[in-house]
Amino acid sequence: MSEHGSKAATADAAHAGETRRDFIHIAAGVAAAGGVAMVAWPFVQQLGPAGDTKAASAAEVDLSKVPEGSEIRVGIGGLPFFVRHRTAAEIARAKADDTATMRDPATDESRLVKMADGSYNTAFLITSGTCTHLGCVPVGPAQGSVGEFGGWYCPCHGSHYDTSGRIRKGPAPKNLAIPEYAYISPTMIKISL
């Protein structure tokens, strides 16, 4: 065998050894990563919410139990939500203010949810009960304090919301949030986090 042939055979054998060694390292790394994932998965799963917590992240509300001109407060997952049965005057005021200059512009209708038949139930407004400034809970018509715009007022820092839950005055940067909710029937809604 020539010297050149011997060197080529040695180089091929060395290359084959490197390729095999690389494969063994990659296979060992994949097996180790799979083992770590199998051991870690139960720990990662336990970080998710428990079944009872998931169940507490929704509430059904019978709107027929909320008299016109009043509201109820619903706690879901430790957070407050307002379910307001607005009067004709409150609805008219909210619609009239649709064109007013606002920090977080929104029409009254854009803050309502369509019913199953495609219409809007303008009498009911469902909002988060958390002020968008620092997370306080505003007071509203049910507590006898409606603020300057007929809606909710946060006495902690002076934010005023209108009858559609839109921020009108004070330090709050955003409107009261509208939670996920759907009509289950014409008088029953389900509010979800």
Catalytic residues: 157
Rounded-to-integer distance, Cα 136 and Cα 161, Å = 13
Among residues 163, 184, 183, which one has the least CA distance to residue 82? 163
What's the chain's Rg over C-alpha atoms? 30
Q: Which residues contact 158 (CB under 8 A, 6 or more apart)?
A: 169, 170, 171
Query: Is the Cβ–Cβ distance between 142 and 71 less than 8 Å?
Result: yes
Greatest C-alpha distance within the chain: 105
Long-range CB pairs of 179-184, under 8 A, 24+ apart, other chains included: 179/76, 179/81, 179/126, 179/127, 179/128, 181/113, 181/126, 182/113, 183/113, 183/115, 183/116, 183/121, 184/60
Rounded-to-integer distance, Cα 71 and Cα 84, Å = 4
Name the 3-class secondary structure at 152. strand
